[in-house]
Amino acid sequence: MKSSIPVVNTTCAYCGVGCGIRVRVQDPGRRQVTLEGDPDHPANYGKLCAKGATLAETIGLEKRQLAPQIRGREVDWSVATDYVARKITEVLEKHGPDAIGLYLSGQLLTEDYYVANKFAKGFLGTANVDTNSRLCMSSSVVGHKRAFGEDLVPTCYEDIDHADLMVLVGSNTAWCHPIVYQRIKNARQNNPRLKVVVIDPRRTDTCDIADLHLPLRAGTDVLLFNGLLARLFEKGCLDYDFIEAHTDGFREAVRQAIDDTTDPAVIADTCGLATRDIETFYSWFEQTGKTLTFYSQGVNQSITGSDKVNAIINCHLATGRIGKPGAGPFSLTGQPNAMGGREVGGLANQLAAHMDFDEDSVDRVARFWKAPNMARKPGLKTLDLFEAARRGDIKVLWIMATNPAVSLPDNNRVREALENCELVIVSDCIADTDTMAYADVKLPAQGWGEKDGTVTNSERCLSRQRAFLASPGLAKPDWQIVSEVARAMGFEAAFSFYEPADVFREHARLSCFENNTGQRQRFFNLEPLANIQQAVYDQLKPTQWPLKPALNGRLFSDGRFATASGKARFISTAHRPVANATSEEYPLQLNTGRVRDQWHTMTRTAFAKRLNAHKPRPFMEIHPDTATEYGISDGDIVHVESRWGEMLAAASVSEGVQREQLFIPIHWNDQFSSRGRVGPLVNPDVDDHSGQPELKHTPVRIRKETFALYARLWTRREIRKPSSDYWVKVQGDHAIVYDMAHQQWTEWTTLLTGSDPASVQYQDPRRNTFRYAWFNGPRLERCLFLSPEPLALNEQWINQLFSKERLERFERQALLSGMAPGHIEDTGAIVCACHSVGEKTILRAISQGCCSATEIGSATKAGTNCGSCVGELNQMIAATLSQPEDQGNQLREQQTAGYELPRQ
Ligand code: SF4
């Protein structure tokens, strides 16, 4: 039956794929909504990954910042606005505009971004406005501007359906852009000619669809692509007509590539690859006209990130594979509105509407804005901005919708900056982020579902993010917060925005202002939307720019680029070894990245309990040989240390990483762990051109960490942050789980057990093993396990006990053993978040004859919704089937003992 509840079309809050979502509000008072993928949205045609599909679980009001606060005192908006306006004015008068900094976010809507930039660059007179997109895409921005004359992504998602070769460089698309990955996978099924090459030091889930995986050494991408360019030249596989008519700088770039080397053996040796694999990649590229090269953080987050981007683009320009269906370089953006931020000049070295700090552009924007204090030079990029705050040169730092106290490299130094800065203002919807802890002024911003505006995805498609919930407490949209401060400072006329459509209209008008006047034409031009009426804005459907349907969403089809000459530019890129190479003292390379079901610093995804089940704790992937060398077993806590800082993480032994490499995810923060942040370790070196930090390569050393006491507590209610030497908090489906470890058995254990006598307990003082459970009638409230050894408990089963209002007698009896009774299925760690299917259930399915992800899906449902876990399913099949027969049989017996597959 058709639902009578109206549908609100909006866009996902997470990644740059920009999936459309249809929301129905079931109960506005209790903020209960249902949602599904928007079948009409061109980014996802109805599909959602696990993160998008669980957004409804993240919109509760617990943990929200609902009122302004000044130094811990709740105030109303007029006081907060006047205070911020007065403080900024005082600093401007005393220290000048460069003493003020803004740090923005790809989570902001375009309207928020536009107003913040206008305020800082046009009215305060400072370009010290940077964004967390600096960490994500700034090397691609440089690469695009150098090659195309403007920050332009030439390709579109539809190209996936036309390509015959897809090269994915530094991109775990399966986990980080799951819906794009699904499209690639479908294309592969539909097109038998299509080949996929994955270039990544790690064997990630994306390799599941790879015909060829090149596990290159970190930082050697430029050499690999220079080698390809030289090879294309040598073999005469170039499009000289295109090069001649539409490009400049070919000779120099090829000369540089040849100077690097033309010898595949040298390339193989430097890149750590097999010569025959390089030959295969090069020959596939030579022979395939419709080649699409995706790249993401593995390319961008590097001291040579900009050169890597240009080395890739050079190969496309040399073969004329750009602006054509199924061909081109395709930068996959990380954040939901990284692209929108770039359109309004969210980076410190850009002005708005794809303009730079050249004299003409500064003058043009100043006239358009009627700006009294136009910034005339680029501002400080992210790491320099925080370093200036640490030195005391930045006196006011206004941070919006981001968590630099977790995400930036050399993170303890960033925290010093936040401590040293005279006034830290944080606008956020979440009250207790690590960054909020440093805020002198906290401003409550609206969150997803309350905000209203636009975002731009990886393929230049503008989509509306629409409000479907009432704004809670005193929360306001960021564009309004900034506008009110600007008006309080006397800039009434320029900031008289009262609806997001007012802001969007002005943004669109600036994009076409003096944009067809004989000077270099800017490709970013929203002229048809410059007078958009409120009703049209309200109903705006996903709209790709340039707004000329004839281009079919693709740029450069006519061979015209955004440079002064109209020609694309080859950029000569020389291979450079990574800075801060490993040494005897720090012999291993740390790579960082994301996991499938978390987003950034977990401030939203951690509320979706299903998402926490996949990778619940901070972990470090380590190769089995390296683990053996260091005496480390799977699950051991490992101390990881670099020149800059240290952390603790549980070892996850995996052949997916190379022997000299480690991988640690970026997500954990002080709210969910102690010493679980990877940021303090990470190398603060940056790319000279883009200022993007080298997040993929930090020399580190490791050692196994042992503790005197290990504890695990399940509780229905949150406790104060534990004071143990190490702890991790996991928000489970029905209870919160705290893992704790301590160096000494002291009164600390009594702190845990408290004065409340346990309902049942087991104590073995000789072996220092203690187990307690607390009941409220038949309902389990809390249970605690203490041991001198790391605990091996059946976590999924204990979690399930908290879903029950009454425990059966046999469950109470089994509880303190930490193991399920024999007839209860042990599902193991969750692999499929959509259907909560555990590892052991899947292994049992394999042992009972399932040989493909489809068969596992039929037997267990795993992988049948968003498909994000299919790679993991295939790896499990491959790992099980590759066991020597004896071991395989033994494993199968262990896995099947006493269990049947769950019935559908
Ligand atoms: Fe959201 Fe990205 Fe998943 Fe799409 S692929 S649902 S945009 S997180």
Mind listing the pLDDT tens digit for each residue in 251-307? 999 999 999 988 999 999 999 999 999 999 999 999 999 999 999 999 999 999 999
Q: How far is the CA of 52 from the centre of ligand 1 (A)?
A: 5
Structure tokens given for 4: 């009578």
Residue 449 sits at the vertex; the CA angle it makes with 448 and 451, to the nearest 5 degrees, is 70
Of 22, 35, 51, 58, the one to substitute when testing ligand 1's pocket (max ligand atoms within 8 A of C-beta) is 51
Q: Using one digit for the tens of pLDDT, what is the confidence trace for 318-366?
A: 999 999 999 999 999 988 898 999 999 999 999 999 999 999 999 999 9
Question: What is the mean predicted confidence (pLDDT) over 535-554?
Answer: 86
Strand partners, 698: 590
Q: Give residue 598's pLDDT.
A: 86
Q: Which of 301, 12, 305, 19 is nearest to 132 (CA)?
A: 301
Given a cut of 60, is residue 421 above it in pLDDT? yes
- Checking if the pLDDT of 889 tops 50, the result is no
Lowest-pLDDT range, 72-81, 669-678, 841-850?
841-850
Mean pLDDT for the stretch of residues 577-595? 90
CB of 489 shorter than 6 A to ligand 1: no
Residue 518 has what pLDDT? 58
Residue 318: strand, helix, or coil: helix
Q: Any idea which of 309-313, 379-383, 748-752, 863-867 has the lowest mean pLDDT?
A: 748-752
Determine the pLDDT at residue 904: 26
Would the CB of 44 count as within 6 Å of ligand 1?
A: yes
Give the mean model confidence (pLDDT) for residues 371-385: 97
Question: From the CB of 179, is ligand 1 less than 6 Å away?
Answer: yes
Task: Look at strands 461-465 and 453-456 and give their pairing.
Answer: antiparallel
Q: Lowest-confidence range among 435-439, 607-611, 623-627, 678-682?
A: 607-611
Model confidence at 900, pLDDT cuts 50, 70, 90, reads very low
pLDDT at 840: 85
pLDDT tens digits, one per residue of 128-168: 999 999 999 999 999 999 999 999 999 999 999 999 999 99
Q: Is 657 in the pocket of ligand 1 (CB under 6 A)?
A: no
Structure token pair of residue 192: 């038998």
pLDDT > 90: what percent of the chain?
A: 77
State how far the Cα of 238 lies from the Cα of 109, in Å rounded to an integer: 42
Give residue 38's identity as a one-letter amino acid code. D
Question: How many angstroms separate the alpha carbon of residue 25 from the centre of ligand 1?
Answer: 20
CB 443 within 8 A of CB 68: yes
φ, ψ for residue 285, nearest 5 deg: -65, -45
SS3 121: helix
- Over residues 569-582, the pLDDT tens digits come to 999 999 988 777 89
Ligand 1 pocket: which of 11, 12, 54 to mutate (most atoms <8 Å of CB)? 12
Is the minimum distance from the CB of 15 to ligand 1 under 6 angstroms? Answer: yes
Position 486 pLDDT exceeds 50 = yes
What spacing in Å lies between the alpha carbon of 177 and ligand 1's midpoint? 7
Given pLDDT bands bounded at 50, 70 and 90, which one contains residue 848?
A: confident
Q: What is the pLDDT of residue 357?
A: 97
- DSSP helix/strand/coil, 294: strand
- Ligand 1 atom having least distance to the Cα of 14: 8
Q: What are phi and psi of 786, to 5 degrees?
A: -125, 140
Reported as a pLDDT band with limits 50, 70 and 90, residue 903 is very low
What size, in residues, is the chain? 904
Residue 550: predicted pLDDT: 55
> Does pLDDT of 664 surpass 80?
yes
Residue 463 CA, chain-centre distance (Å), reads 20
Compute and round to an integer the Cα radius of gyration of the chain. Answer: 27
Q: With a cut of 90, say whether residue 752 has pLDDT above it.
A: no
Does 17 contact ligand 1 (Cβ within 6 A)? yes
Is the distance from the beta carbon of residue 35 to the nearest atom of ligand 1 less than 6 Å?
no
Ligand 1 atom closest to the Cα of residue 21 is 6
What is the rounded end-to-end Cα distance, in angstroms, of the chain? 25
- pLDDT given at position 892: 39
Of the ranges 10-14, 17-21, 569-573, 808-812, which one carries the lowest mean pLDDT score?
808-812
329 CB within 6 A, ligand 1 = no
Residue 101 Cβ inside 6 Å of ligand 1? The answer reads no
How large a percentage of the chain has pLDDT more than 70? Answer: 95
User: What would the mean pLDDT of 41-59 be, rounded to a whole number?
Assistant: 94
Q: What ligand 1 atom has the least distance to the C-alpha of 12?
A: 1
Nearest-angstrom CA–CA distance, 725 and 523:
55
Per-residue pLDDT, averaged over 372-396, amounts to 98
Measured from the CA of 49, which atom of ligand 1 is nearest? Answer: 3
Q: Which residues contact 367 (CB under 8 A, 6 or more apart)?
A: none
What are the tens digits of pLDDT across the range 172-216?
999 999 999 999 999 999 999 999 999 999 999 999 999 999 999
Angle, helices 853-860/870-881, rounded to nearest 10 degrees? 110
Residue 88 contacts residue 100 (beta carbons within 8 Å): yes
Give the per-residue pLDDT at 879. Answer: 77
- List the residue whose alpha carbon is closest to atom 2 of ligand 1: 15
Q: What is the pLDDT of residue 604?
A: 81
Which atom of ligand 1 is the closest one to the Cα of 13?
A: 1
Instruction: Return mean pLDDT, the chain.
Output: 92
766 — pLDDT class (breaks 50, 70, 90): confident
pTM for the model: 0.92
Q: What would the pLDDT profile of 806-839 be if each residue is shown by its tens digit?
A: 999 888 888 988 888 876 777 877 888 778 888 8
Cβ-in-10-Å burial (0-12, 13-18, 19+) of 716 comes to middle
d(C-alpha 149, C-alpha 712), whole Å: 56
Tokens of 883: 């066991």
Query: β-strands 646-653, 619-622: how paired?
Result: parallel
| Beta strands in 429-469, from DSSP E residues, in sequence order | 441-444, 453-456, 461-465
In angstroms, what is the span from residue 615 Cα to ligand 1's centroid?
18
Q: What is the pLDDT of residue 898?
A: 30
| Least-confidence region, from 94-98, 118-122, 332-336 | 332-336
887, pLDDT greater than 60: no
Half-sphere exposure in the Cβ direction for 277 (13 Å, CA): 18
Cβ atoms of 623 and 661 closer than 8 Å: yes
CB of 12 within 6 A of ligand 1: the answer is yes
Distance 603 CA to ligand 1 centre (A): 16
pLDDT category of residue 748 using cuts at 50, 70 and 90: low
Rounded mean pLDDT, 97-117: 97
* DSSP H or E run through 544: strand 543-544
Which residues 6+ apart lie within 8 Å of 755 measured at CB?
A: none
Q: What is the pLDDT of residue 901?
A: 28
Residue 689: pLDDT above 90? yes
pLDDT band at 873 (very low <50, low <70, confident <90, very high): confident
